Chain A
C-alpha cells in the first residue's frame, strides 16, 4: 500500500515520517504522474496560498479532484483542510473544493494566538488527543452526510469527515500520538480492498 504526501510546500516530511513509522510506503507528490499507484493522499500543513498556487501551476487540481471524487481517501491537516474545502474564507484561489465544508483561514489570529489543547475525539476512543493549532483555520459549517469529529470546549468544529475525506484544523504529525494517522490508514485499507473487488486485475 502506497500513500502519497502532497510535497509542494509545508510539513510533508513530518507526515511522511509518521507514515513510515507505521510501516507504510510513502510517495512525495509534486506532479500528476507521482500519483500513480497511490491509494491515499495526505495534504499537509503549510501555507494554503502557496499550496493552491502550486496545485494550479503543476496541473494537479483536476487529477486530484477526480481521484478524491472516485473515493481515494484523503487527509488534510490545517492548510490541507483549507485546500479540500468547498468554501475557504480568506483564501484568494480556488483549492480542490471537494468537501462540503465552509472553513475560515487564520481563525484564531496571528502566531501569538496559536495554542495547544487536549480535545476529545470520540471516533478515536480512549484519551483526549493533544492537538497543536498553529495559525489554525476552523470549520464553520459541515454539510450532511459529512459530520464533525471534534470540537473545542466552546463548540468550534476543528475536525470533520465526509466519507473518504478527513480534515483536521490541527497537526497530528507534530506529536507522537499516531491514532489519527492510523484512523486514516484504515480508510485507505478499506478503500484499497473495495477497489480490489471492483478491479480484480489490479492489486
Chain B
C-alpha cells in the first residue's frame, strides 16, 4: 500500500473536475456551499476582497477556523498558505487539510522560492499566469494548477488573459518541431521534460481550474469554454447580495457550460453580483497576480 503518491495527489484534482470550489470563511458559509453543490471549499479567514480592503500582511488562517470548517462539511477542504512558507504548509498538512493552495492572495513569505511540494503527502494547487509559470509549479510538485486571475476584484478579465495564455502556450508547443523545444523551454523558463510532455500530449499533465474574478454564472461558463477543468469562486459568492442562489447557479453553469439556455435560466433574478474593480485602476503593488514568478 502506497500513500501520498503523485497519482493520488493529481487524482483528487481529477475528482474535482467539472465542479466549483468556493471560498468560505465560516462553518455556516461552508454548509451553504456544500448545499449548493460545491465540489470542495477553500477555508479562509477573509475572502480576497476583504484581504484587499484590509491591507497589511495576509497569512495562513487560524487553525481553529480551518478545523471548524472541516467539521462542518463532508466535501474536501482546501486551505491557503503563503508562497514559500513551507511551515504554514506543514501545519496545514498536520491539520488534515485535503489540498493546500500556495497562494498569491496571501502575502508572500519568500520572493525567490516557492515551496518544494514533492516533500509533502498532501497535494498542492498553485496559481499561474501563463504556461511557463504553470510548468514551473508542476515541476516543484503542484498536482493542480489554477489561473491567478485577479482575486477579490469580481472582474474576470485577468482570469481570461491567463487561461488564454496557458491554452495558447499549449497549442504553440504542440505545433513546434522537437528541435524547437529546448529553445522554447528556455524562453518559457520551464522544465524541459514537462515541455516535451505537453508537446506530445497537447495538455497539461495536471488539472487546470480558473480562478480570480469569477462573479456570475456566465463568467464561470466562459472560463469552462476557454478550457478550464473547473472553477474557483472566491469573493464572487459571499460578497454578492444573495449568496446561496448565486452559488447554486454557478454550479449549474459549470455543469452545463455549453448550454446557453441553462445559463440563461440560472442567471435570472440572482440579485446584485459583487461590485467589481477595474483592474487597470489598481496600482502594480496591489495586483496580487504579480506575486510569485
Contact = CB atoms under 8 A, between A and B. Distances in A.
A32 to B, nearest CB: 13
Q: Tell me which of A10, A47, A78, A174 has the highest count of chain B C-beta atoms within 10 A of its own C-beta.
A: A47
Instruction: Bin the interface of chain B by size.
Output: 35 or more
Interface stretch (A114-122, A142-150, A183-191, A195-203): A114-122
Interface string B113-125: 0000000011100
A116 B7 contact: yes
A135 B76 contact: yes
A111 B15 contact: no
Contact of B11 (A7, A12, A47, A134): A134
A110 B121 CA distance: 12
A1 to B, nearest CB: 25
A14 interface: yes
B8 A115 contact: yes
Contacts, number: 115
Contacts of B4: 112
A46 interface: yes
A10 B76 CA distance: 13
A81 to B, nearest CB: 13
A109 B12 CA distance: 14
Interface string A101-145: 000011001111111110000000000000010110000000000
A45 interface: yes
B122 A112 contact: yes
A114 B3 contact: yes
B93 A46 contact: no
Contacts of B8: 111, 114-116, 132, 134
Interface in A45-104: 45-47, 49-50, 53-54, 57, 78-79, 90, 92
A78 B15 contact: yes
Nearest to A91: B74
B255 to A, nearest CB: 5
A62 to B, nearest CB: 19
Contact of B7 (A10, A105, A174): A174
Contacts of A161: none
B18 interface: yes
Contacts of B151: none
Interface stretch (B33-41, B57-65, B159-167, B215-223): B33-41
B237 to A, nearest CB: 15
Interface in B1-47: 1-5, 7-8, 11-12, 14-19, 34, 36-40
Nearest to B99: A111
B75 interface: yes
Contact of A111 (B12, B251, B254, B256): B12
Contact of A134 (B15, B17, B40, B70): B15
B198 to A, nearest CB: 17
Nearest to B19: A9
Contacts of A132: 7-8, 11
A165 interface: no
A45 B13 CA distance: 11
A106 B36 CA distance: 20
B255 A8 contact: yes
B3 A49 contact: no
Interface in A2-18: 7-14
B103 interface: no
Given A9-B39, A111-B99, A112-B96, A30 B256 contact: yes
Contacts of A105: 74
Contact of A79 (B11, B15, B96): B15
Contact of A116 (B5, B15, B34, B259): B5
A138 B36 CA distance: 25
Given A10-B18, A115-B8, 19 more contacts: A7-B255, A9-B254, A10-B15, A47-B19, A50-B251, A54-B252, A54-B255, A57-B252, A106-B74, A111-B98, A111-B122, A112-B4, A112-B96, A114-B8, A116-B7, A132-B8, A135-B15, A174-B7, A174-B14
Interface of A: 7-14, 30, 45-47, 49-50, 53-54, 57, 78-79, 90, 92, 105-106, 109-117, 132, 134-135, 171, 174-175
18 contacts: A9-B17, A10-B15, A11-B17, A46-B18, A49-B34, A49-B74, A50-B251, A54-B255, A105-B74, A110-B97, A110-B98, A111-B123, A116-B1, A132-B11, A134-B11, A135-B98, A171-B11, A174-B14
